[in-house]
Amino acid sequence: MTRIDDTPPSWDERAQLTTFLDYARDAARAKCDGVSAENARRALLPGSPLMTMNGVINHLRWVEYYWFHVVFLGEEDQGPWTDEDPDREMRIAVDFPLTQLLAEYAGQAADHRDLVAVNSLDEPARRAVRNGVHVNLRWILLHLTEETARHNGHLDILREMLDGTTG
């Protein structure tokens, strides 16, 4: 897999935060390069039947949607999950081609980049999180970087198990 540059174009806080989130996003997409449609749908971990390459990418897409649209902007939640099926975004991912999921994730990331560019990092979210706190945009960027990096580890494991590719 090709190394993606994680050095920001400038050293201000916004550039550093967005560069690391973009790096993590790009790494997730790069880990999927060359994966067959069949392999992208395969669950390899007996205790995690929803853990597929498709499932992880779709989860990352919908997690970003949730934090930017539902929490930060306060929009109505249109995510695929339900109370009965809280991991539905991972379950339904096998019904879509990986190329489509990757394109949707990349397009949404571009929209979120624009959203971040026009808002203060100190801007509080319109909707509170579970403990009643209104996190700010800075916190959301940090959280999404952590979430994406953690799931990149899952993609690493899945990819190595699928076809031996590492990196």
Computed over every residue of the chain, the mean pLDDT equals 94
Buried b (16+ CB within 10 A) or exposed e, 8-46: beeeeebebbbbbbbbbbbbbbbbbeebeeebbbbbeee
Per-residue pLDDT of 82-91, as tens digits, reads 999 999 999 9
Residue 3 has pLDDT above 60, yes or no: no
Residue boundaries of the structural domains of the chain? 13-163
Residue 143 has pLDDT above 70, yes or no: yes
State mean pLDDT over 46-72: 96
Query: Cβ(23)–Cβ(146) under 8 Å?
Result: no
φ and ψ at 124, to 5 degrees? -75, 150
State mean pLDDT over 129-155: 97
Given the candidates 1.20.120.450, 3.30.420.10, 3.40.1190.20, 1.10.730.10, the CATH classification of the domain at 13-163 is: 1.20.120.450
Residue 4 has pLDDT above 80, yes or no: no
Give the whole-angstrom CA distance, residue 137 versus residue 166: 33
- Among residues 7, 21, 29, which one has the least CA distance to residue 112? 21
Angle 155-151-165 (CA atoms, 0-180°, nearest 5)? 15
State mean pLDDT over 91-110: 97
Residue 1 has pLDDT above 60, yes or no: no
Per-residue pLDDT of 15-52, as tens digits, reads 999 999 999 999 999 999 999 999 999 999 889 999 99
Three-state SS at 63:
helix
Residue linked to tokens 């939640």: 77
Q: Indicate yes or no: pTM above 0.85.
A: yes
Residue 129 has pLDDT above 60, yes or no: yes
